[in-house]
Chain A
């Protein structure tokens, strides 16, 4: 396994300075109109590759980019070489197969096929493992997107909130 010598770990401080007052979630609409955090705007190539990959691993069309980018961002600090090298490798494979960068491949099935080639590797599983918690253990998405209401003891459980309200009338 080779590591790019240019890929230096980036410090937390630099991230914070890139993001002004440290408000990582603040962002402006760029590109396709998604809300991107400022760190992502400062490193658009890495961010675009990582976001595309995250959205291909767990595709939910109705979930905003920011919910993918926010949990993935720490990887650019803690595992930067792995991520930079992994994305470079993915782009190399994409060029070979489709003559363009991974994030620029239009068909989801084509991108997914490339990811299947690397799914057993550390890079892929690191991104996926980070996202499976970062995306689905996010209470901001639970009820709005999944219809999962989460913690209930503060409201006295679901005893009076519909635990047995279903009529199975679809048979």
Chain B
């Protein structure tokens, strides 16, 4: 019998979101015997809902509620209503991610100390160091089943796509080539099957080889008896008392009926768009600019990674679609080296798309048609692709605001997602594109081309960590500076974006936050 908590039960922690941050946190709290209610806006999916079909799964799992793409970027024209490609469902974007599990590097936690002020950027050091987080990286890797040292699981065999990129990269002189670390099992681990190299990692892993809270943390938290998950429950507002402590979350169920769940503490993990949106929508007489926003930093410093995508047409068939989607990682350029003309680094990650997505994303601008497109498509089986995952600097004006007049199905203002490039991002991207081209040239590519940006899945910032209350939204535990029992538990708390995919760091922070919440509860502070 599944656990049910009363709406008036104010002993529960209310967690908003069930992805990498919220799902991990719910399970970690459950292991400590702490009760939680998880409010998830999306519905619950079963394993047999997962199809190896790009458009079907896109339509099925994506967050498609109205959002407005804004800013001086091509995405504003090509995807005006889809600024980010993330998941609405139990498990959140851990259904859709590709398993790349890189740790941030020590210097990435203290960018401001390393490089000083940069005009136009809102750089800040994280209030935690790599050394403080390292034990939680190890825990996160074991928890998720990441290939490599922490688990002892071997890396994946290099798939064809990575073999091609790696052949070129080695000729260019790159040394740090790996087919991992990945949170995708290479052998049975933690009651999950091994990877069958199906591809379609971003559509969901039908075998459950990839870590996802959809079938790990969430069902385990529920099975413990300490957690209730309420799917199709969209959080609308966080309420507080006269002392300024969070007391309840108002949410709408799948039929649009509103409920109020009382709470001992509230943890927000709705991704970098919905999390600040909820805080901004929770304004009150005491907090007129939104909850936890005395700094004015809620919704600001939105980062997506400076990205680009390069494909090479190779002399012989590659069949890039076979095997894990992001099958290999090159880290040589992830270093701190301002001599390249920019601060921050990037990883080169081999990637693949199926024919339906490739056709759509190869050039989604109005001009993206004609023989230039179709001659590449005719060579689909000869293609190899690489994605640049680069440090994106925090810019204060990049962020989430509420639209003046447009309302969503719940009557809440829709979010406007504004993003422009810092000049550093542009330089980094150009460097990455040039290096990716060099790799494919060295591998003998007959043709090399760049794909315009598509909606990112990496969203960080907007509720950032800071040592001082006036610089950011949360402290080193993800606890908001302004409200003692209100936490941010997702990637929105990132102070910088790193040159690495964010999920492992989100999970490490969630595990660490769970320990902190439990200790404070033991001390009767929460």
Contacts and interface: CB of A to CB of B under 8 A. Distances in A.
Given A137-B55, A152-B199, A57 B366 contact: no
B369 A170 contact: no
Given A147-B317, A147-B319, A171 B377 contact: no
Given A125-B366, A135-B359, A166-B318, A60 B164 contact: no
A168 B195 CA distance: 24
A21 B250 CA distance: 55
Interface string B347-389: 0000000111011100000110111011001101100000000
Contact of A151 (B53, B171, B355, B366): B53
A133 B196 contact: no
Q: Is the interface of A mostly helix, strand, loop or mixed?
A: loop
Q: Is the interface of B mostly helix, strand, loop or mixed?
A: loop
A153 B163 contact: no
Interface in A114-171: 115-116, 119-120, 124-125, 128, 132-133, 135-137, 142, 145-153, 156-159, 161-166, 168, 170-171
B377 A158 contact: no
B120 interface: no
A59 interface: yes
Question: How many residues of B sit at the interface, in one of the four size bands?
Answer: 35 or more
A149 B167 contact: no
Contacts of A146: 355, 377-378, 380-381
Nearest to A60: B374
A56 B369 CA distance: 9
Given A151-B53, A152-B52, A171-B167, A164 B323 contact: yes
Interface stretch (B154-162, B400-408, B516-524): B154-162
B315 interface: yes
A112 interface: yes
B207 A153 contact: yes
B316 to A, nearest CB: 6
A1 to B, nearest CB: 18
Interface residues of A, number: 43
Contacts of A124: 366
A25 B164 CA distance: 41
Contacts, number: 134
A158 B322 contact: yes
A122 B60 CA distance: 27
Contacts of B195: 157, 159
Contacts of A128: 369
A152 B369 contact: no
Contacts of A116: 367
A116 B367 CA distance: 8
B369 A58 contact: yes
A124 to B, nearest CB: 8
Q: Give the most central of A56, A166, A170: most B CB within 10 Å.
A: A166
A106 to B, nearest CB: 16
Interface of B: 51-55, 157-160, 163-164, 167, 171, 195-200, 206-207, 314-319, 321-323, 354-356, 358-360, 366-367, 369-371, 373-374, 377-378, 380-381, 442-444
Interface of A: 56-60, 62, 108, 112, 115-116, 119-120, 124-125, 128, 132-133, 135-137, 142, 145-153, 156-159, 161-166, 168, 170-171
Given A146-B355, A162-B319, 17 more contacts: A62-B378, A112-B370, A128-B369, A135-B359, A136-B355, A137-B55, A137-B356, A145-B378, A147-B317, A148-B355, A150-B52, A159-B195, A159-B197, A164-B158, A164-B159, A165-B160, A166-B319
9 contacts: A60-B378, A133-B55, A146-B355, A152-B196, A152-B200, A159-B196, A162-B319, A163-B319, A166-B160
